[in-house]
Structure 1
Amino acid sequence: MFYYLLVGLVTGGFALAAMQLREYRYLFMFPLFVLTAYFVGFRDISIGTDTLRYSEIYFDIQPLSNALAIGNFGFEAQRIEAGFVLLASVFREFDAGFQHFLFFLNFLTVSVIFYSYQRIDKNIAPILVFLYTCTFTYFTLQYNIVRQGVAVAFCTLAFCYLLQNRRWPFLVLTLLGASFHSISILFLVVWPVRKFRWHPGYALVFIPLSIGVASVDFLQELTSLLSPYSVTVYRVANYMLTQAGEINLLSLSVVLDFLLIVYCIVDSKFLTKQSDYFNPVLTAFVIGFLGMLALHELKLLSLRYYYLFCPFEVITFYMALHRFTGRYLVKEVIVVSLGFLWLLKNVYVTAQFITSY
């Protein structure tokens, strides 16, 4: 547990220092990214629901030269997306261990996330990457982030091109993310609503909509609707329902996200003036939040869907503090303090799964 807290403090300190730099921010943050990747990649791989299993899959994947010679990447590779398999095969070609591979994936994830934040708003990118690591990187050690972490990073970069209304880079990067985790294809839903603009009155729509999607069992309703027309859909949906396990819709995280969105909508006129990217970022965050509620019957799918949009929660949270102004980095100190408190909460949650911590 001590190392979690130490890395969190170091990350916050680096972020505040990097905020003062105009150039070479990535070079300044580079040692921190290496430290974070090392901390995550070289941990005990038995920590996490699927990480140990992925080590078995990794060693089953054939080195690239062997794969080209025999015409396949191995039995396990048939179950995994092509981007992950190809990258793993390259690492296997050089006899790299699984934890070296895991280190690279985490370094790639944090680096791309930071680069994406730089493209969205270079002035606050360091503080955003701090929040991202505190709220998601360390917390998800108990879950499987081997593939989806990379996928989320590429989708976040795709969002940068969405802000520029550049369709093809957005599409290519989203599909690249899907080559690591197929759920990333759902990120395409952001494109049609990229120009949506928020108004304070929309809070009157969002509040009952959130309650509605959280209270309706969409999968059950869809099964009932389509069962007369498709036996296949009926059987698949029923199988999924047997695996259902609802998320806690009254959890602290869900309630705080709900309140955060409501505030941002109510104060949208002010926040729109403060940031050119307020509307698309809030839209992406709302899509992730509502999708998570709508999929609440299937806990794992719901969490994976929400994780796809989690980088925008970080930006939304920072934007919500725009009314805090003053000298001596008042807002930034508030953000680091709150981020560290959230890290403490995540350390506590993780400790329930990892007795040695």
Structure 2
Amino acid sequence: MDIFNLKYYIIYFVFAVAAFIFSMYIDIKKKNYNNISRFVTFLLFIIIAVVFGFRDSDIGSDTEMYKWQFLTYSNVDFGIQVAFKYFIILTHFFTENYHYFLFAVSLLYVSIIFWSINIYIKNFEANFLLVGFAFVSLIFFIQLGINIIRQGVSLAFVLLAISYYIKDRNNIKSWLLPFIVAIGFHATSAIILFLFFIILLLKRITLNYYYLWYFILLGISAVGGSILSLGSFLNYFLVIDSKRADFYVKDQGTDGEFVVGFKAQFAVFNTIFLIIFSLINYKLLKNENENYKLLLKYYMFISGVFFMMFQIPYSDRWGIMSWITIPFLVAPLFSIKNTSKYGMLTVMFFIFIFVFFNIYNNSK
């Protein structure tokens, strides 16, 4: 694990240096140089995919399970997650080596994120590398790359779907298809699609109601309320994966392995970013960018659901559904449209986040 971490830290250091350089160009010269930043990001993402893919089997809590699924896929019930099954079958046409399979998954993961950034940043004329740097700075990026890799690919497709929706919401196939593929890799993305449709159906509901939703559910969670309070309704809420729903309701973890209860660190983390996003929306964007408000609504909506999941195992996996949008929501800070100079400050903030959470996780 130490060698793996060392490799990743070196890549991150190179990424951070490049990010600081490009942030200076954004702040001082108001130039993106996106052709160069896109190429540098592409190279670094490829290197990350190699490091993720050719990791030892003891790197990542679920790596052995994915190795087993790859080698014995014909005997595995993937349920509605058929996209992952067919991805395994396709990989088997070329190799029986599970390392190449892990590399293929990792390459797909970073490639879809790369693709999503390329589409999304056009909305704000943001720097490509800086948005990519925001991804690799957040602890979920490596977790989705080496632990819960199915959810990693799935959420990457969710980002692609959102990017295409923002680009051309009238081209339904362009954004609905990535959502369907996302569900085919990890069923829980159906929850995201469901919430996304609710937001679209209630498009006249203002941000104020989402703030109310966010803080009411945060308060309920703080006093011990959770989705478990709904009892058997959880089985319907997670009908796409009834076995897991039953596990959450009845077992609530295995021999104390998973800590449940109100998680102040997550509540603070999400709320700090909500404050940042609110300042971006009201101060920089003057509450006029409908695409940004759509993404902000989603962030608050899914964060509220996340708070209600604190009493169940794996609640952080619900948090990732909100955290995955953070790089997109900070993108206006990396834009050449801004007259203020936030690029370098934001890069240093993300470096702090990366260092802080790596020290925190290694100290546990």
- TM score, norm. by length of structure 1: 0.79
Distance 1:177 1:225 in 2: 22
1:92-111 equivalences in 2 (<5 Å): 92-111=92-111
Q: Does 1:221 align with 2:230?
A: yes
Q: Is the 8 A contact 1:135 1:339 kept in 2?
A: yes
Give the length in aligned residue pairs: 331
Q: Does 1:287 align with 2:301?
A: yes
Q: Is the 8 A contact 1:260 1:320 kept in 2?
A: no
Q: Does 1:135 align with 2:138?
A: yes
Pairwise CA RMSD:
3.5
Partner residue of 1:208 out of 209, 212, 216: 216
Q: Does 1:10 align with 2:14?
A: yes
Moved more, 266-275 or 130-139: 266-275
Distance 1:238 1:108 in 2: 30
Question: What is aligned with 2:90?
Answer: 90
Partner residue of 1:338 out of 349, 356, 359: 349
Question: What is aligned with 1:66?
Answer: none
Distance 1:160 1:133 in 2: 19
Question: What is aligned with 2:197?
Answer: 191
Offset, 1:297: 2.0
Question: What is aligned with 2:163?
Answer: 160
Q: Which amino acid aligns with 2:344?
A: V
Question: What is aligned with 2:180?
Answer: 175
Distance 1:204 1:266 in 2: 17
Offset, 1:97: 1.9
Question: What is aligned with 2:239?
Answer: none
Unaligned 5+ runs, structure 2: 27-31, 236-241
Distance 1:87 1:261, change over 3 A: same
Specify the SS of the correspondent of 1:165.
coil
After superposition, give the CA deviation of every residue in 1:203-235 in whole Å (9 maximum; x if it has no partner): 456423421245323223333899xxxxxx9xx
Distance 1:40 1:153 in 2: 16
Distance 1:239 1:119 in 2: 37
Q: Is the 8 A contact 1:151 1:181 kept in 2?
A: yes
After superposition, give the CA deviation of every residue in 1:177-213 in whole Å (9 maximum; x if it has no partner): 1111111111111133144565568645642342124
Distance 1:143 1:240 in 2: 27
1:251-262 equivalences in 2 (<5 Å): 251-262=264-275
Distance 1:255 1:182 in 2: 28
Structure with the bigger RCO (C-alpha within 8 Å, sep 6+) is: 2
Offset, 1:261: 1.5
Distance 1:337 1:247, change over 3 A: farther
Question: What is aligned with 2:49?
Answer: 37
1:236-251 equivalences in 2 (<5 Å): 237=246, 240-244=249-253, 247=260, 249-251=262-264
Distance 1:209 1:219, change over 3 A: closer
Identity of aligned residues (%): 19
Q: Which amino acid aligns with 1:107?
A: L
Distance 1:266 1:90, change over 3 A: closer
Specify the SS of the correspondent of 1:299.
coil
Specify the SS of the correspondent of 1:255.
helix
Question: What is aligned with 1:71?
Answer: none
Question: What is aligned with 2:39?
Answer: 27
Question: What is aligned with 1:347?
Answer: 358
Q: Is the 8 A contact 1:216 1:294 kept in 2?
A: yes
Q: Which amino acid aligns with 1:147?
A: R
Distance 1:237 1:310 in 2: 26
Q: Is the 8 A contact 2:15 2:133 kept in 1?
A: yes
Q: Does 1:296 align with 2:310?
A: yes
Q: Which amino acid aligns with 1:126?
A: L
Offset, 1:268: 4.0
After superposition, give the CA deviation of every residue in 1:40-78 in whole Å (9 maximum; x if it has no partner): 2222221222111211111112xxxxxxxxxxxx11254
Moved more, 26-35 or 209-218: 209-218
Distance 2:302 2:227 in 1: 16
Distance 1:169 1:130, change over 3 A: same
Distance 1:183 1:268 in 2: 29
Distance 1:287 1:332 in 2: 28
